[in-house]
Amino acid sequence: MAVRQCRAARKRAAWGVRAARCPGRRCASTSAYKRFSELLPKEERNNACSARVPKSQILTLPELRANPFQHRICHVFSTSDDGDDSMSFEDFLDMLSVFSDSATSDIKSHYAFRIFDFDDDGTLDRKNLEQLVNCLTGQGEESRLSTAEMEQLIQNILEESDIDKDGTINLSEFQHVVSRSPDFASSFKIVL
């Protein structure tokens, strides 16, 4: 358990997000704690601060159910060593903190970048951009762009965003683009 907590704390520190504290049963946010514990089986609710909620339960939240990036959101915020994208209460609080109105644009853009980086390699390449566009436009055949339309859109995105012209978008390039979008911070949120 100590190794898991240390790894989770290092991961949060590397992301630049202050880990939420959950001393005993008195947790930082009553409404978040209530929502988190409701996702647990009744017999585990008394120990919600030390429990992990499976990804399948997290995805039942109405705020995530319709989000096209729901699986990526769980993946990015989960500190599970098992790779199952389950969430601890601290993971859940971190997610809510990033998606809150009080999070800075830098933190929001950092996490948006990580969510859009489908292969977790630290850059948004053509494949990531195609997956991003497909998530935003829908997965159905009727909403899918043609190959030519997709290629043109990706080319336009790269021309606008790829400052160093290496064929990918890195975090600083992404943050530069986002900084020119005044509605980004207000639209990148989840309200419980």
> Does residue 11 carry a pLDDT above 70?
no
The reported pTM is: 0.83
Residue-wise over 123-162: b if at least 16 C-beta within 10 A, else e?
bbbeebbbbbbebeeeeeeeeeeeeeebeeebeebbeebb
Predicted pLDDT of residue 58: 97
d(CA 32, CA 94): 11
Residue % of the chain over a pLDDT of 70: 84
Beta strands in the chain (DSSP E): 52-53, 87-88
Q: What is the pLDDT of residues 116-159, one digit of tens each?
A: 999 999 999 999 999 999 999 986 677 789 999 999 999 999 99
User: How far apart, in whole angstroms, are the C-alpha atoms of residue 133 and residue 139?
Assistant: 10
Q: Is the pLDDT of residue 184 over 80?
A: yes
